[in-house]
Amino acid sequence: MYDPDRLKNEAKNTDILTIAESLGMELDKISSHYYSWKLHDSLVIDTEKNIYHWFSRGLKGKDTIDLVKQVKDVSFKEALQHILGLDAQVLSPKQKEPQKPFVYRVPEAKSFDYARKYLKNERGLSDETIDFFLSKGVIAQGIYKDYKTGETEPVVVFKNVDLTGRTVGGALQGIWYNKQKYKKKGRLKMTLPGSEHYSGFQIDIGEKKNFAQSTKEAPFKLYVFEGPLDMMAYYNLHKERLNNARLVALHGLNKGTISKSIVDALCSDIESYKNLEANVIPAHQWLRDADEKGFTDKLKIIIATDNDKAGKEFFLNLGLKHTKVVPHMPPLRPGETKADWNDHLKLKNQEQMVKKSQHTVASVIQKNHSSELYV
């Protein structure tokens, strides 16, 4: 007898590594039960839960059927047929367990020299910007160990910090360039395994205690970014105009992280945060509920994602009817289809260097011309 629910459950519980292999996905093992896709390292497979996350696309906790849909770009029916046609192990369904508390295990270096050099020379950030983020305790220089080869390398650590100041997740950015090892981008780039769901890389501009006292005329502002480096670049470019605001990088595109970041910013302490989660609504769902009830008139959200198809769709599909949401994306250069804030910062730095060079040449010419008048 045809039972669509049974077939769907069977597909969802089919071993995800076998499915990945059938899709031609080449994987790197990054811990005991986490694997990343070599082609797109923001796609991480969790074999313990038989699910995957694709952080750059804002996909978290997705099942095997969705993996086939995303990688093969096929319909639900075609994905189901693909999985059921495999000679693969069907795992016993596990009861969903609460996420285990994140444990921060990245060894940190005593110096920040390598990280500072990378952030300045490769990313165009100023010492002032770097020192500001250091003072917030959200960046560090760490040591990453590849347990497959035993090799170590320095990395920039971007920490997701909660209301109490505890690190609950984060991401690593490699400093050393190695195109042979990291074929796509040339440097290590990964989300820390086990990072708390809906946590983001964030900093506050202004006194946190004043956020909840915002008004319609002077709203609390949340600036939303895809990644930490674009967020730092945006701060570098616009710090003089930022006030009464929080900046948050989503490590991809995730609406729940926006909601949780707002709740975290507006709650005065951890007890009020826990009370909301326990008695009202989970923090990652709060924004949608508050928007529907018209409670967000003292809030303004600025979407500062990449200027590309995904960033524009994220802005257009945010789905908030009563909350003021505006885009502030970097301008596209002629002929380009994508722009991000870090590239925009580097372009601005280059333009300033050219102007400075031209001014120097003009000054020398003027000086020589003046000298000739007295010969």
pTM of the predicted model, to two decimals?
Answer: 0.76
**287 contacts 316 by C-beta, under 8 angstroms:** no
Q: What is the CATH number of domain 197-346?
A: 3.40.1360
Q: Quote the pLDDT of residue 4.
A: 75
Q: Quote the pLDDT of residue 119.
A: 99
Q: Which residues contact 126 (CB under 8 A, 6 or more apart)?
A: 120, 236
Within the chain, which residue ranges are assigned CATH 3.40.1360? 197-346
Residue 80 CA to residue 200 CA, distance in Å, equals 33
Beta bridge partners of 300: 221, 324
Q: Quote the pLDDT of residue 32.
A: 72
Residue 265 CA to residue 222 CA, distance in Å, equals 9
Element (H, E) at 341: helix 341-372
Q: Quote the pLDDT of residue 306.
A: 96
Identity of residue 316: L
Considering the chain, what is the average pLDDT of its residues? 89
Topology annotation, domain 4-84: DNA Primase; Chain A (3.90.580)
Q: Quote the pLDDT of residue 369.
A: 56
Within the chain, which residue ranges are assigned CATH 3.90.580.10? 4-84
DSSP per-residue codes, 95-163:
PPPPPPPP---PPBPS--HHHHHHHHHTT---HHHHHHHHHTT-EEEEEEE-TTT--EEEEEEEEEE-T
Confidence bin at 363 (pLDDT 50/70/90):
low
Q: Quote the pLDDT of residue 124.
A: 98
pLDDT digits (tens, 9 = 90+) for 116-157: 999 999 999 999 999 999 999 999 999 999 888 899 999 999
Mean pLDDT to the nearest integer, 11-22: 90
Residue 300 CA to residue 71 CA, distance in Å, equals 35
Q: Quote the pLDDT of residue 55.
A: 80
**pLDDT above 90: residue 341:** yes
